[in-house]
Amino acid sequence: MLLEVKNLMVFFENALAINDLSIELNEGELVGVIGSNSAGKTTLMNALSGLIIHMRIKEKRRGGERITIYGKILFNGEDITETSPSERVKKGIVLSRERHPVFPESSVLENLKIAGYLKNRSEIEKGVLQAFEIFPPLFHLKHRKAGFLSGGEQQMLAIGMALVVGPKLLLLDEPLLGLSPIMQRTLVDAIVKLRTEVGATILLSEQFARPVLPVIDRGYVVENGMLAMFGTGKELMDNPEVKSAYFGI
């Protein structure tokens, strides 16, 4: 088992964002976390990547809201619940955030190289080549400043930057948000290639279930921070409740 989340609970002051959530992820799988806006998907991704640890420290320093975490997060059998984000990156857990910030004044190629700052030159070159193979449009845009890319192109770049880091577990937080249907399909195809050609293990969160469910191995539906249902992608696609809530039918 690559990732185990056991009875995770996250409180922001007295508000419960994640409620007794348990999920599993095997090496090589593509798994989805499906939920509407404010269902707790981003909080889950922040907890898995360790960003919630930085948020908790920052809030405590400025006397802001108290963030409390219960439960366990295991990666390769190791308890990483309190491990810092930087240490998790070194272990191979890499997050591509919703509307992931790129360096707008730097070119596409420079952004990809910056992302590999923890790697040696040959590893960076390999990662950049993989990013261009998965996202061919980026190769033709490699000298363009990232700030001049479209939203979809920036999302490709953000995932490409995560790929250069060399993730054992790639976390994609709402990668389809704000994209046109055509760009959504393009990005979903690229995510499948990440899994089949690069061998990446991927956990993605999405509220747009329709393009995601056909390609995932398994999915977890989260509502109000709680696990509402789970199953294979096909099982969820055929579920009337999922169709009603996420397909509009």
Domain positions in the chain = 3-236
Q: Confidence class of residue 85 from pLDDT cuts 50, 70 and 90?
A: very high
Q: What is the pLDDT of residue 198?
A: 86
Q: Are 175 and 155 in contact (CB under 8 A)?
A: yes
Element (H, E) at 3: strand 3-12
- Cα distances (angstroms) measured from residue 3 to each of 54, 91, 127: 21, 12, 23
Report the relative pairing of strands 15-25 and 3-12 from DSSP bridges: antiparallel
- Cα distances (angstroms) measured from residue 183 to each of 2, 152, 179, 202, 247: 30, 6, 6, 19, 18
Q: Are 139 and 190 in contact (CB under 8 A)?
A: no
Q: Confidence class of residue 104 from pLDDT cuts 50, 70 and 90?
A: very high
For the chain, give the number of residues: 249
Q: What is the pLDDT of residues 168-198, one digit of tens each?
A: 999 999 999 888 999 999 999 999 999 998 8
Q: What is the pLDDT of residues 42-64, one digit of tens each?
A: 999 999 999 999 999 999 898 88
- State yes or no: pLDDT of 99 exceeds 80: no
Q: What is the pLDDT of residue 63?
A: 87
Q: What is the pLDDT of residue 100?
A: 67
Average pLDDT score over residue span 143-163: 93
The pTM for the full model equals 0.94
- State yes or no: pLDDT of 28 exceeds 60: yes
What would the CATH number be for the domain defined by 3-236?
A: 3.40.50.300
Q: What is the pLDDT of residue 191?
A: 94
